[in-house]
Structures are given as C-alpha cells and as structure tokens.
C-alpha cells in the first residue's frame, strides 16, 4: 500500500462547455473558459511552483511564486490569478523566472525556523517542496534579521496545533475557513511584516468560534497548522480511502497510516458527497476505536445481575444458539427477533435481516430508522413511489431558494451545511421553519430571509398553509401538475388546502407563526426559482411525521420543484447508513428494495435464492417487540450496533421490555446501556475494521474499506454468519462482503448494477443503478415519477395528543450538537467531549425567571412519562414556552421523559414534542442515581 496523493491543480476546475485553446511552453492546451493558467499548465503535467494556491480554494495571488511570462504582456503575472485566453502563449520556466522565484523563496526562508529534521511536516511540506523546485541553495539575507521565530504555539485545540513561527501568511487557512467551511473564524491580524493568522479575536482556537472542522489544517502548506497525531506518530506512509461512519452525509476520507497505526483522516477530494471537506467528527473523532472501555472478547452471563464472564467465540455462539432454540421451542417461532443497525454496513445489515427471516423463520426485524426516518420512507413512497431523497448534494449548487424545516444542518450534517452556506453566500434565499433559532437563521455572512418559529407539533398545519397560499394566489405550476401528477388527487387536494382552517390566519392561531410570514415564505418558495426542501428529524419524529413528509412532497409537486438539479425533497438522514439499512430490508414488512413481504413473487425469488420458505406475515416493530416482551410473549432479541435503552423513547418501558426477556444478545463496541440488560455480548468492530458499503442521504453507495484488522478477531458479518451456523441455519457462505453485495444486486432491481468492481471504478454509485441507469441516478423523478404520476395526498392537521396544561406547561423538543453524535457512544469517548461535556436544557429567559432558574443551575424536568435532571442554559434561541435539549449522554436520560406517542403510520416516536414542567433541583434525580448504580453493577466482569 502506498500513500494516496491527489493531484493539486492549483485552482478550482471551471464548469462550462466553452473551451479555450492556448500554448503553454510550446504545447497546445484546451481547457474550459475561466480556467487559470496555473491549472491549464497542470492539466498537461507542467507544475508551476506555488504556495498560496490550492485547487480547493479560489486563487488569491499573494505569494508571487507562480510567476510566468505571457507573450505580448508586460511583467510576470501570477499564473494562479491569470485566466487563460484564446491564442495565449505562456512560458512557465526560464532564467528570469527562476531568479524571481528564488528571490521570493529566500525571503520566506529567512524568516522560517529551519528545523526541518525535527518538524512534524518533514517530508510533507509544500514550503520544502517549493524550495526544492526553485533550486534554492542559499539565503542572501541570512537568518539574523527581524523574524517571528519566538512566537508562542497555540495548543489549545485537542486535535491540532498552531505554530505561528512557521506561518508564511499565505491565507490558505483563512480562505478555507471562509470558502470551504463558512465559519469565518480566522483573520490575518496585523499588517505587513507583523501579519499573522489569528483565530477569533486573536484568542486561542479553543475559545474562538472555530468548529474544529480541520479545513484550515488540510489547507496549510507548512507545519503551522498540523494534526497533533502527525507530530506524535510521524508523517503517514500509506493510506486507504474509506467512508465516515457518523452522519448521513457520507464523507470520504483517506485513512493515512504509519505502519499499523492510524495517523489521520484526511478528507478525500474525490469524495462525491464531501468534495474534500470534513467536520470535526469524521476528521478527528475516531479515537474511540482504541478507547480503554472497548470490548474485544465475547462475554456471557446467566442473569443480568451477574458479572460478565469472558468466553471464546465458540462458547458465545453456542450459548446464543441454544438459547434461541430453547426459547423458540418453548414460546414459539415468533418469540425472538433482531434489530439491525444504521451504523453498520449494508452487507452486515442484509445478513442480520436474512438471519431473522431465514434463520429465526419470522419477520421480527426492525432498525433504528424506525425511530428517525421511517416516515420519510412511507411518505415519499406514497407520493412519489420511492423511499428516498430525490437529489444529489451537488444539486444544491443550482438551488435558488432553500426551505429548511425541522433540520439543523450545521450541527447534524455539517459538511452539507457548508455547501448550503456557500450557495447562500452566492445569493440563494433561505426559509427556515423551526421552533429554535438554529445557526442557519443567522451566522457569519448568512441570514435567513424568513424564519418561521412554529410551536413544536404544528408542522403539518404550517406546510399545508404554505400550499394554501400557493393555490389561493395562483402560484401553482399548472403545466407540471397537468403533465406529471394525478389529476383527480390534485383536484381533491386543491379543494382541501383552500379550506379556511388552512389559511395563514387560522394556522397562526395554532402554530404561533404570523400569517404574514407564512404568506411571504410561500411566495418566495413558489416564485424564487429552483426551490429545494431540506428536512430532518424535526419533521419525522412527530405523531404526524408521515403527514408532514407528504405535505412537503405536495409542496414540491404543486410548484414543479422536482425532477431537475436545484430542487427536490431532501431528507437529511441522521446516521451514516440509515438509508442503507432501510434499503436492505430491515423493516418487518419489507424485503430488500422496499418490496412488501406479502408479495408472493418477491417471496418466491428469495425462497429460491435463500433455499427457505418465508413467512408472509409482517413481523413486529421495535416497540411491538418491547410491548410483547412486557406481555410475556417475546423472549429473545439480537441487537447489532444499536443502543435502544438510550436511544428509544420512554426509556422505562424499553428497560421493562428488555428485563422481561430471557436472552438479549448485544453486538457492540462497548457495554452500552442496552448491554446492561443483556445475557450475551458479542464484541463488534468500528468502521476502521470494516469492509463493505454505506449508503448516504443522497442514495450514494460508498465503499468502506478496512484500515486495521478487526480487533475482536471476527468482522461483524462473520459474527452473524457464525451465529447462524451455530443455529443450524444456512444463510449462505461468502468469502468477502463483496459477495454479499453481489447477492443484493442479484435480488434487488434498484441495485442490479452495483458491485464492488463498479464502486471501485466509479468511486460511488447512487441507486437506482440498473440497465436503465448503469452509472446510477443522481436526480430522481426526471420526466416521470417512479410511481408514474405524482400523488397529492390530503394532509389534515391533527394536533398531537401530547398537550400542555397547568401541570406540564412547556414543550420539550430535542436535537443534536455538532461535536457529539447520537447516543454519544463514540464521540463521548473522544476529545469531542471537551466541546460538550453534558446535555443541557435550553430555556428562554422569561420561562427561567418565572421558575427562579439561573444559568447553570440544576433543574428537574418532568413529563407524564418520567423525570430527569440536568443543567439549565438560559437563551433566547428557544421561544417562550419551548425548552430544548440534546440526548448524547446516558446520565441525562432525556428519553425517560419522552412519551410513547408515535407517528400514526410508522410508529416513529414523537421525540420532538413532550409537555414538561421545569423546576429547580439539587442535582441528578433518584432515578438517575439508581440507573448509575445499576449500570456500574451490570458492567462488572468476573476475574478469570
Ligand atoms: S478548524 Fe475549521 S472552523 Fe476552525 S479555524 Fe480551521 S477552518 Fe475554521
Ligand atoms: S497558518 Fe498555514 S495556511 Fe495559514 S497563513 Fe500560515 S502558512 Fe498559510
Ligand atoms: S459526521 Fe457527517 S459531515 Fe462529519 S465528516 Fe462524517 S459524514 Fe461528514
Ligand atoms: S501560487 Fe500564485 S501567487 Fe501564490
């Protein structure tokens, strides 16, 4: 293996069909109009020395190293800022240019600590390279003049250092923070010789607004900004391209290694979802893979009050299989089930659902998508005919109006948020519909045109009201509706949206959003050009989650904003592989590719492929499994890579269900909260140890490649296979996960053209990928909806049963924070906790004052379901009457207070609306203390 080096063309590629031909060093070159001379030279392999230019950033022209001569032009222009012109003739190297470049380099080097041998970037430094390229042999000015060599290092960030003595003031970091990340945390402080890069108000990186995305570090040509791990371990020597295992953006990285050790994750420029960018999680938060709490040996115990006993893999499989067999013999075939994980690969997930259907002989399989995006699957399949987002991420570059509802991209999907911000800075308009003033509403150089701060639980009313305005004001795209949608459904829907209860005035009364704002937002969405909707769990995790998804789909259809770049309905998927786990047949009623289990033809296909008859009855959903467990009818569960005791609603009920089971098998990296109630623990692998694929929010199938060997000795897919073998179930033999994907492709029409070979060749593929679309499908529903005609569905607003009243006067809504991820099992075990040590409760100053709560006080939050305590943070980001918290820390147990209300169609829990009361408290609640005691007890491991 070698170190993957991506070419740097110096300036970004231009996208235009207009071509320009010129001569460089006597050779003809044809490039798109707007290309720089530097890039045109690089295209034919002529490397012009450079320092301030890099192809991920716009040209800046400050270092003057890239000078060239152009026939007929005076002087020596910088090739990075000079654009090509027809017939231009360029010389990139001659005596005069060499002399000039040497002179520039001499100035840089005279103020540089010449400690190359001990420098962290030795061998990976563009300054070193440039010195070599220009043939620098001595420095006429000496090294004794004024310099910056004594400047103090900033080591405040846990992941990278800033050493101003090595800075060449090329501004690549400043531009990366602005152009790529969009945070604007860096400036060049001072003037002339005194100029230096400064974070925030010339403060340490850690206390500035820096979000630690690493873009500046990746852009820095010297060791000024450098990963701590590179300093500690040394420069990397080989690398593998793989995919981030955190969120649904699906960023690709080069995992750079030195020997067996991972040194750093460098965002991959050819990654089609991230285009060379990253966020703090994918870039830096991978230390959990070697955390001391990671478990690498299988364990079993008789009772959940016993300490764990380490055993061999064989003993663990034997115990698991005999328990499942015993339980099925005693309580029946359907008394057992499995949960797949959206953190695992497609191949692993496929095998778990196959084990349940073909090995347990029932359909009791579900996935964590149940608790996040199941309404997306159902809602979009009903309206458009497919269960997925309609666009690719590149589409945002063609968008004129963004409507963001129930999503907080800068925290939840940071790399895509950076792409959104870039487009917004270029002039796109923005509508935000959210109870909270999320960062997108106002941040550096971004301001939403309209923010509709609705009451949690009123999405359906507000989105339907937008449609009301569009129809009432004659803003319907009549041609699109006539040609693409079902006429009868449309007529019914049109009459419905015009009903008075959907008028902005009526909806103002239920949602709190001023009617005028609803009108303005509707007009902008309908008339502002290409309009795209982006939504997240703030849409789906409601009792009417599916209805809101349908209302969103209606809105896109009625304005014709579907079926081309720049528009569409874009669910921002939470976990790395939530799209894939749904695609792979993780729901109890669907086989892979969203085909209903009752479809005899599909069952026959699988019966032939798998050699086993399948049960035509849909199985139990997660919540039904838990209900059945409490009722005594469900006795064993195999949970791969999920922590339902922390992530699922009404935690007390989840725990009661788990406690009622006779055999809980947890496969995970850590003894998570669910493992507190488990009898068998199978150690899992991190994404660094996996081979397989993840499918991101844009249906993009990305390869996950093994970086290090599986720490427990077996890969997760091998564990599932061995478990099946112990059970006596034949679920196939595979030499490599690629063969599992071959089986998926063989049996699932939308994956027919997918293979590891195709993925390696193309980098990634967006499904559907088949004969009609051999290279995949970036934008869906072009010309025709997957279901034929688009279907308008009536979206009547039915208020949630979770209501505020004198006992519970506030509405709690929940969300994520940038540095932590989901239940925090991974990020809490990294330095990311420095940014978010605990979950806090955001409360408006008025509500806090009413209750005598001060900033930082412990408060008790209780609902009809339960209570917990956490610290208060007083902020006007939330409106009065609304409180907000994250759910990343098990001690907070935010899900003790969420109720068991759920979406009418999919049972997706209503996490986003809980009526609560807040009162001052002295610290953790009794329940929390008891929980901690139990967790500590449960995690004991018996001595040999
Ligand atoms: S790490 Fe990211 S946010 Fe922080 S200064 Fe660098 S580019 Fe800006
Ligand atoms: S810190 Fe690095 S990227 Fe930023 S100006 Fe200095 S040398 Fe250039
Ligand atoms: S967490 Fe999401 S945005 Fe961040 S690097 Fe990973 S995939 Fe990209
Ligand atoms: S690379 Fe062109 S001026 Fe710096």
Collapsing DSSP to helix, strand or coil, 405 comes out as strand
- Rounded to the nearest angstrom, the distance between the alpha carbon of 285 and the centre of ligand 3 is 10
Collapsing DSSP to helix, strand or coil, 297 comes out as coil
Tell me: cis bond preceding 247? Omega within 30 of 0 counts: no
d(CA 665, CA 355): 14
Nearest CA to ligand 2 atom 3: 220
Report how far apart, in Å, the C-alpha atoms of 550 and of each of 39, 252, 840 are: 46, 32, 33
Kindly state the average pLDDT of the residues 127-134.
Answer: 87
State whether the beta carbon of 174 lies less than 6 angstroms from ligand 1: no
Confidence of residue 560 (pLDDT cuts 50, 70, 90): very high
**Range from 493-507, 516-530, 642-656, 739-753 carrying the lowest mean pLDDT:** 642-656
The predicted-structure confidence for 62-94, as pLDDT tens digits, reads as follows: 999 999 999 999 999 999 999 999 999 999 999
Q: Which two tokens stand for residue 462?
A: 């507000």
State whether the beta carbon of 282 lies less than 6 angstroms from ligand 3: yes
The predicted-structure confidence for 235-251, as pLDDT tens digits, reads as follows: 999 999 999 999 999 99
- Rounded to the nearest angstrom, the distance between the alpha carbon of 895 and the centre of ligand 3 is 25
Test site for ligand 2: of 65, 111, 113, 224, most ligand atoms within 8 A of the Cβ: 224
Q: 445: closest CA among 466, 461, 462, 430?
A: 430
- pLDDT higher than threshold 80 for residue 138: no
- Rounded to the nearest angstrom, the distance between the alpha carbon of 79 and the centre of ligand 4 is 7
pLDDT of residue 867: 86
- pLDDT higher than threshold 70 for residue 944: no
| Ligand 1 atom nearest 160 alpha carbon | 1
- Rounded to the nearest angstrom, the distance between the alpha carbon of 170 and the centre of ligand 4 is 9
Q: Which two tokens stand for residue 749?
A: 């029409």
- CA 268, chain centre distance (Å): 16
Kindly state the average pLDDT of the residues 397-403.
Answer: 98
The bound ligand whose nearest atom lies closest to the alpha carbon of 284 is: 3
Kindly state the average pLDDT of the residues 893-921.
Answer: 81
State whether the beta carbon of 281 lies less than 6 angstroms from ligand 3: yes
Q: What H or E segment, with its residue span, contains residue 909? A: none
Test site for ligand 2: of 124, 160, 171, most ligand atoms within 8 A of the Cβ: 171
pLDDT of residue 624: 92
State whether the beta carbon of 214 lies less than 6 angstroms from ligand 1: yes
Contacts of 192 (CB under 8 A, 6+ apart): none
**Range from 550-559, 681-690, 852-861, 926-935 carrying the lowest mean pLDDT:** 926-935
- Rounded to the nearest angstrom, the distance between the alpha carbon of 177 and the centre of ligand 1 is 5
State whether the beta carbon of 924 lies less than 6 angstroms from ligand 1: no
The predicted-structure confidence for 326-361, as pLDDT tens digits, reads as follows: 999 999 999 999 999 999 999 999 999 999 999 999
Contacts of 348 (CB under 8 A, 6+ apart): 340, 341, 640, 641, 690, 692, 716, 717, 720, 737
- pLDDT higher than threshold 80 for residue 804: yes
pLDDT of residue 140: 75
Q: 215: closest CA among 156, 261, 159, 148?
A: 159
**Range from 322-326, 472-476, 739-743, 772-776 carrying the lowest mean pLDDT:** 772-776
- pLDDT higher than threshold 90 for residue 568: yes
Higher pLDDT, 670 or 815: 670
**Kind of pairing between the strands at 810-815 and 882-886:** parallel
State whether the beta carbon of 697 lies less than 6 angstroms from ligand 3: no
% of the chain residues with pLDDT over 90 = 77
State the SS3 of 528-594. CCCEEEEECHHHHCCCCHHHHHHHHHHHHHHCCCCCCCCCEEEECCCECCHHHHHHCCCCCCEECCC
Q: DSSP secondary-structure letter at 398?
A: G
DSSP-assigned beta bridge partners for residue 936: none
- pLDDT higher than threshold 70 for residue 322: yes
Q: Which two tokens stand for residue 148?
A: 């910056």
Test site for ligand 2: of 109, 225, 227, most ligand atoms within 8 A of the Cβ: 225
- CA 49, chain centre distance (Å): 37
Report whether 291 contacts 258 (CB < 8 A): no
The bound ligand whose nearest atom lies closest to the alpha carbon of 48 is: 4
The bound ligand whose nearest atom lies closest to the alpha carbon of 224 is: 2
Q: Which two tokens stand for residue 868?
A: 């917990």
The bound ligand whose nearest atom lies closest to the alpha carbon of 177 is: 1
pLDDT of residue 112: 82
Tokens 């009617």 -> residue = 515
Nearest CA to ligand 1 atom 7: 177
Test site for ligand 1: of 187, 216, 219, most ligand atoms within 8 A of the Cβ: 216
Count CA atoms closer than 13 A to 629's CA, side-chain side: 25
Collapsing DSSP to helix, strand or coil, 239 comes out as strand
- pLDDT higher than threshold 90 for residue 650: no
How many degrees, rounded to 5, is the angle at CA 505 between CA 504 and CA 506? 95
- pLDDT higher than threshold 90 for residue 437: yes
- Rounded to the nearest angstrom, the distance between the alpha carbon of 415 and the centre of ligand 3 is 6
Q: DSSP per residue over 616-685, as a string?
A: -S----HHHHHHHHHTT---EEEEES--HHHHSSSHHHHHHHHHH-SEEEEEESS--TGGGG-SEEEE--
The pTM score is 0.93
**Range from 186-190, 319-323, 325-329, 790-794 carrying the lowest mean pLDDT:** 186-190
- Rounded to the nearest angstrom, the distance between the alpha carbon of 195 and the centre of ligand 1 is 19
The predicted-structure confidence for 459-517, as pLDDT tens digits, reads as follows: 999 999 999 999 999 999 999 999 999 999 999 999 999 999 999 999 999 999 999 99
Confidence of residue 34 (pLDDT cuts 50, 70, 90): very high
The bound ligand whose nearest atom lies closest to the alpha carbon of 173 is: 2
Residue 204 backbone dihedrals phi, psi, to 5 degrees: -60, 150
State whether the beta carbon of 183 lies less than 6 angstroms from ligand 1: yes
Kindly state the average pLDDT of the residues 204-208.
Answer: 95
Confidence of residue 143 (pLDDT cuts 50, 70, 90): low
State whether the beta carbon of 210 lies less than 6 angstroms from ligand 1: yes
Report whether 151 contacts 183 (CB < 8 A): no
Report how far apart, in Å, the C-alpha atoms of 186 and of each of 166, 196, 283, 534, 706 are: 17, 10, 19, 29, 36
Q: DSSP secondary-structure letter at 264?
A: E
**Kind of pairing between the strands at 27-32 and 19-24:** antiparallel
% of the chain residues with pLDDT over 70 = 99
The bound ligand whose nearest atom lies closest to the alpha carbon of 253 is: 3
- Rounded to the nearest angstrom, the distance between the alpha carbon of 121 and the centre of ligand 4 is 21
pLDDT of residue 149: 72
pLDDT of residue 279: 97
Test site for ligand 2: of 57, 195, 222, most ligand atoms within 8 A of the Cβ: 222
Test site for ligand 4: of 58, 60, 171, most ligand atoms within 8 A of the Cβ: 60
d(CA 239, CA 229): 15
d(CA 198, CA 164): 9
pLDDT of residue 575: 82
Contacts of 73 (CB under 8 A, 6+ apart): none
State whether the beta carbon of 61 lies less than 6 angstroms from ligand 4: yes
The predicted-structure confidence for 756-771, as pLDDT tens digits, reads as follows: 999 999 999 999 999 9
Kindly state the average pLDDT of the residues 97-115.
Answer: 87
Kindly state the average pLDDT of the residues 748-759.
Answer: 96
Test site for ligand 3: of 211, 214, 215, 246, most ligand atoms within 8 A of the Cβ: 246
Report whether 466 contacts 518 (CB < 8 A): yes
- pLDDT higher than threshold 80 for residue 372: no
- Rounded to the nearest angstrom, the distance between the alpha carbon of 45 and the centre of ligand 2 is 26
Q: 583: closest CA among 342, 878, 375, 254?
A: 342
The predicted-structure confidence for 872-894, as pLDDT tens digits, reads as follows: 999 999 989 999 998 777 777 77
The bound ligand whose nearest atom lies closest to the alpha carbon of 38 is: 4
The predicted-structure confidence for 223-238, as pLDDT tens digits, reads as follows: 999 999 999 999 999 9
State the SS3 of 786-823. CCECECCCCCCCCCCCCCCCCCCCEEEEEECCCCCCCC
State whether the beta carbon of 219 lies less than 6 angstroms from ligand 1: no
Contacts of 173 (CB under 8 A, 6+ apart): 186, 197, 216, 217, 219, 220, 224, 225
Report whether 638 contacts 339 (CB < 8 A): yes
Q: 373: closest CA among 927, 909, 885?
A: 909
Alpha helices by DSSP H, listed for 291-413, are 313-331, 346-354, 374-383, 409-412
- pLDDT higher than threshold 80 for residue 755: yes
d(CA 561, CA 564): 8
pLDDT of residue 742: 97
Torsional class of 142: left (φ above 0), alpha (ψ -120 to 50), beta (otherwise)? left
């Amino acid at each position: 293996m070698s170190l993957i080096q991506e070419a740097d063309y110096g300036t970004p590629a231009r996208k235009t069909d207009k071509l320009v031909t010129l001569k460089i060093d006597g050779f003809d070159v044809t490039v798109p109009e707007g290309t720089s001379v530097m890039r045109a030279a690089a295209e034919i392999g002529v490397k012009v020395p450079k320092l301030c230019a890099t192809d991920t950033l716009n040209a800046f022209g400050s270092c003057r190293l890239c000078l060239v001569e152009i026939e007929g032009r005076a002087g020596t222009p910088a090739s990075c800022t000079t654009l090509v012109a027809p017939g231009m003739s360029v010389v990139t190297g001659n005596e005069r240019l060499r002399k000039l470049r040497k002179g520039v380099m001499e100035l840089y080097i005279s103020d540089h600590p010449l400690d190359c041998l001990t420098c962290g970037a030795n061998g990976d430094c563009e300054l070193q390279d440039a010195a070599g390229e220009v043939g620098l042999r001595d420095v006429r000015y000496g090294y004794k003049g004024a310099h910056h060599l004594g400047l103090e290092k900033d080591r405040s960030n846990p992941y990278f250092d800033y050493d101003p003595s090595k800075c060449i003031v090329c501004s690549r970091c400043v531009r990366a923070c602005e152009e790529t990340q969009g945070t604007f945390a860096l400036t060049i402080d001072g003037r002339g010789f005194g100029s230096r890069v400064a974070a925030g108000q010339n403060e340490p990186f850690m206390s500035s607004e820096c979000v630690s995305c690493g873009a500046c570090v990746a852009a820095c040509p010297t060791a000024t900004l450098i990963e701590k791990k590179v300093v500690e371990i040394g420069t990397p020597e080989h690398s593998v391209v793989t995919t981030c295992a955190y969120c649904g953006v699906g960023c690709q990285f080069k995992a750079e290694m030195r020997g067996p050790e991972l040194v750093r994750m460098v965002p991959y420029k050819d990654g089609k979802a991230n285009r060379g960018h990253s966020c703090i999680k994918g870039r830096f938060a991978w230390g959990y893979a070697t955390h001391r709490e990671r478990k690498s040996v299988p364990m079993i115990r008789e009772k959940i009050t016993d300490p764990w006993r380490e055993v061999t893999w064989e003993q663990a499989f034997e115990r698991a299989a005999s328990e499942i067999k015993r339980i099925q013999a005693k309580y029946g075939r359907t008394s057992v089930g499995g949960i797949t994980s959206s953190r695992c690969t497609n191949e692993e997930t496929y095998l778990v659902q196959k084990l349940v259907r073909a090995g347990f002989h029932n359909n009791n399989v579900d996935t964590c998508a149940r608790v996040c995006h199941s309404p997306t699957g159902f809602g979009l399949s009903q309206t458009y005919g497919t269960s997925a987002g309609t666009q690719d991420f590149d589409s945002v570059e063609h968008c004129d109006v963004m409507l963001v509802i129930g999503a907080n991209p800068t925290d939840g999907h940071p790399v895509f948020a950076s792409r959104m911000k870039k487009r917004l800075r270029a002039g796109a308009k923005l509508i935000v519909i959210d109870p909270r003033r999320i960062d997108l509403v106002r941040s550096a150089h971004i301001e939403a045109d309209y923010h509709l701060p609705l009451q949690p639980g009123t999405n359906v009313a507000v989105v339907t009201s937008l449609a009301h305005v569009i129809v009432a004001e004659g803003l319907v795209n009549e041609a699109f509706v006539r040609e693409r949608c079902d006429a009868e459904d449309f007529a019914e829907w049109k009459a419905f949206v015009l009903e008075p209860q959907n008028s902005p005035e009526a909806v103002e009364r239920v949602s709190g959003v001023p009617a005028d704002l609803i009108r303005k937002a509707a007009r902008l969405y309908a008339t502002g050009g290409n309009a795209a909707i982006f939504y997240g769990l703030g849409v789906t995790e409601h009792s009417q989650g599916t209805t809101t998804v349908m209302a969103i789909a209606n809105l896109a259809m009625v304005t014709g904003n579907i079926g081309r770049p720049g528009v569409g309905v874009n669910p921002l998927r939470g976990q790395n592989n939530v799209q894939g786990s749904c695609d792979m047949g993780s729901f109890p009623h669907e086989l892979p590719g969203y085909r209903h289990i009752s479809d005899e033809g599909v069952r026959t296909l699988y019966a032939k492929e798998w050699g086993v008859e399948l049960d035509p009855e849909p199985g139990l959903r997660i919540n039904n499994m838990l209900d059945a467990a409490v009722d005594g009818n469900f006795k064993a569960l195999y949970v791969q890579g999920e922590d339902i005791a922390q992530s699922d609603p009404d935690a007390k009920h989840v725990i009661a269900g788990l406690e009622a089971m006779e055999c809980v098998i947890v496969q995970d990296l850590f003894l998570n909260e669910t493992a507190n109630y488990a009898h068998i623990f199978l150690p899992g692998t991190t994404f660094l140890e996996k081979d397989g694929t993840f499918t991101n929010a844009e249906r993009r199938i990305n390869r996950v490649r093994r970086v290090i060997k599986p720490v427990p000795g077996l890969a997760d897919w091998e564990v599932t296979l061995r478990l099946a073998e112990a059970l006596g179930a034949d679920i196939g033999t595979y030499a490599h996960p690629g063969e599992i994907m071959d089986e998926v492709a063989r049996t699932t029409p939308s994956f027919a053209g997918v293979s590891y070979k195709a993925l390696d060749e193309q980098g990634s593929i967006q499904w559907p990928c088949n004969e009609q679309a051999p290279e995949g499908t970036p934008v869906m529903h072009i010309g025709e909806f997957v279901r034929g005609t688009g279907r308008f569905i009536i979206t009547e607003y039915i208020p949630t049963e979770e209501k505020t009243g004198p006992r519970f006067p506030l509405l709690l809504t929940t969300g994520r924070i940038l540095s932590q991820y989901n239940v925090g099992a991974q990020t809490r075990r990294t330095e990311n906790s420095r940014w978010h040590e605990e979950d806090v409760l955001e409360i408006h100053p008025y509500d806090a004052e009413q209750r005598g709560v001060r900033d930082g006080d412990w408060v008790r939050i209780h609902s009809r379901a339960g209570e917990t305590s956490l610290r208060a943070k007083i902020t006007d980001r939330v409106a009065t009457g609304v409180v907000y918290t994250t759910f990343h820390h098990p001690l907070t147990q935010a899900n003790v207070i969420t109720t068991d209300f759920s979406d009418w169609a999919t049972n997706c829990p209503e996490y986003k609306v809980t009526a609560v009361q807040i009162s001052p408290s002295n610290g953790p609640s009794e329940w929390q203390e008891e929980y901690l005691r139990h967790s500590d007890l449960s995690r004991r491991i018996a001595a040999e």
